[in-house]
């Protein structure tokens, strides 16, 4: 395969190939799905949907959960039920997958891009404070962006790569400036911040069960909250806003954003294994960390004090000057050796898709994005496979990347 080719649908991957991140479905998934097929409860109503909602709420430590067709839909509905309106402004991490920013545009609002902090690469609370304190003012009881005149109404911290955002200062600012908080926890299921699971800190939290997430339903999402009112409204909007299901009376424009019973059945099988998957991800991260410790050209992702990361996507920063190879050349070289890796996303303040949101200066996200590379980290990655990744990375960095060969520190 070449970098741009993909395998035929359902074709087994070549023997030697080590993918970046693939699901593992070895628990009760088959049994639960078979039950759906045997009973013909395959569509968007069924006991597995409710069961999966309960299990996710339990894991997130919230009172309610509403299943959705994917994480993007969960974010879209979350913004809507939180009361974000057209032409509002919403603070959001610039260093993230594009979905939360798209969701902000779906409701007609505008993103305010917040840079990453350099240590753990998450939304920088100092950047949030700077925007709110220096660039906004109160007018008639609402917070206004002085430059655009728009209302600033919400914040979407994104817990990227399985590591939590530093929530305490962000929650304090949200209280002070009366912002709704919608956590994009799509990459963070199972991660904790000060011993509490992410997703429960804001007004609403959103999860994704896309194929590359720590647990998957093939495609799927979930919105969690402690507010009965928000949960009820989210359920209403995700199920076509039906006021009278017999007479087909719809109170407003709703969405068909429901998860199917078959997908929820897979989710129930998957979530039973979540604790084991987190342990495996953390073990994989630990092995990489140990193996790369003497390479000054690589700086692995770190874990903040008070945070427990799932290390969902194990990522390193590659410093070309020290490593003797840049992140994109390393990606290409690994690909030639049948090992898949991936850069992080283009920071969204630079995205052509969101050019109309104005121009923003987010230098830390730019630097992280230029140097980052994610390495194979499926929960099913074998020691042998990981050993091969380590061996190839070390060989490609050569002696120039060794700590002893360089006076400088990590990338």
Q: What is the end-to-end Cα distance of the chain in Å, rounded?
A: 31
Tell me which residues touch ligand PLP (CB under 6 A). Answer: 70-72, 96-97, 99-100, 158, 184, 186-187, 208, 210, 221
Strands 298-300 and 196-197, bridge-based pairing = unpaired
Measuring CA to CA, how many Å separate 390 from each of 282, 284, 292? 16, 11, 8
The Cα–Cα gap between 365 and 115 comes to 6
Residue 122 or 322: the one with the smaller Cβ distance to ligand PLP is 122
Least Å from the CB of residue 208 to ligand PLP: 3
Asked whether 75 and 184 are in contact (CB, 8 A), the reply is: yes
Measuring CA to CA, how many Å separate 213 from each of 42, 256, 278? 23, 23, 11
Place of tokens 């990655």: 381
Q: Dig out the tokens for 141 from the structure.
A: 């009881």
Residue 21 or 298: the one with the smaller Cβ distance to ligand PLP is 21
Of the candidates 139, 268, 145, 123, the one whose C-alpha atom is nearest the C-alpha of residue 209 is: 268
Asked whether 183 and 190 are in contact (CB, 8 A), the reply is: no
- Name the residue whose CB lies closest to ligand PLP: 71
Least Å from the CB of residue 85 to ligand PLP: 21
Least Å from the CB of residue 87 to ligand PLP: 23
Residue 221 or 300: the one with the smaller Cβ distance to ligand PLP is 221
Least Å from the CB of residue 100 to ligand PLP: 5
Residue 221 or 347: the one with the smaller Cβ distance to ligand PLP is 221
Residue 53 or 184: the one with the smaller Cβ distance to ligand PLP is 184
Least Å from the CB of residue 367 to ligand PLP: 20
Least Å from the CB of residue 217 to ligand PLP: 9
The Cα–Cα gap between 115 and 132 comes to 14
Least Å from the CB of residue 35 to ligand PLP: 24
Query: φ, ψ for residue 250 (rounded to 5)?
Result: -115, 125
Residue 100 or 202: the one with the smaller Cβ distance to ligand PLP is 100
Instruction: Judge residue 99's burial from the number of C-beta atoms within 10 Å of its C-beta, 0-12 exposed, 13-18 middle, 19 or more buried.
Output: buried
Residue 123 or 143: the one with the smaller Cβ distance to ligand PLP is 123
């Amino acid at each position: 395969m070449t970098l741009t080719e993909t395998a035929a649908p359902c074709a087994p991957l070549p023997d030697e190939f080590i993918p970046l991140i693939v699901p593992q479905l070895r628990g009760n998934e088959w049994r639960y799905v078979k039950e759906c097929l045997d009973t013909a409860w395959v569509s968007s109503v069924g006991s597995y949907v409710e069961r999966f909602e309960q299990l996710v709420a339990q894991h997130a430590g919230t009172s309610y959960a509403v299943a959705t067709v994917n994480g993007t839909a969960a974010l879209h509905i979350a913004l809507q039920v939180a009361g974000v309106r057209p032409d509002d402004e919403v603070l959001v991490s610039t260093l993230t997958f594009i979905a939360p920013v798209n969701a902000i545009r779906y409701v007609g609002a505008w993103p305010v891009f917040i840079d990453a902090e350099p240590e753990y690469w998450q939304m920088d609370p100092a950047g949030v404070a700077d925007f709110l304190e220096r660039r906004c003012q109160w007018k008639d009881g609402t917070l206004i962006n002085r430059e655009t005149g728009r209302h600033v109404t919400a914040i979407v911290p994104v817990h990227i790569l399985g590591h939590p955002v530093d929530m305490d200062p962000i929650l304090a600012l949200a209280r002070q400036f009366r912002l709704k908080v919608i956590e994009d926890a799509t990459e963070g299921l199972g991660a904790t911040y000060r011993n509490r699971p992410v997703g429960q800190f804001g007004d609403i939290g959103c999860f994704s069960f896309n194929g590359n997430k720590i647990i998957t339903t093939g495609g799927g999402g979930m919105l969690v909250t402690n507010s009965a009112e928000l949960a009820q409204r989210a359920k209403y909007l995700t199920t076509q806003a039906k006021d009278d299901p017999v007479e087909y009376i719809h109170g407003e424009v709703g969405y068909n954003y429901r998860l199917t019973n078959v997908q929820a059945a897979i989710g129930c099988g998957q979530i039973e294994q979540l604790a084991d998957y987190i342990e495996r991800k953390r073990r994989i991260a630990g092995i990489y960390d140990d193996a790369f410790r003497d390479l000054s050209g690589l700086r692995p992702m770190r874990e903040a004090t008070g945070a427990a990361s799932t290390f969902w996507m194990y990522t390193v920063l590659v410093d070309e000057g020290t490593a003797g190879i840049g992140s994109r050349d390393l990606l290409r070289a690994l690909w030639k050796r049948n090992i898949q890796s991936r850069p992080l996303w283009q920071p969204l303040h630079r995205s052509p898709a969101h050019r109309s949101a104005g121009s923003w200066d987010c230098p830390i996200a730019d630097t992280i994005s230029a140097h980052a590379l994610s390495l194979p980290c499926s929960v099913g990655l074998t020691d042998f496979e990981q050993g091969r990744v380590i061996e190839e990375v070390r060989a490609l960095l050569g002696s120039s990347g060794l700590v002893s060969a360089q006076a400088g520190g990590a990338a």
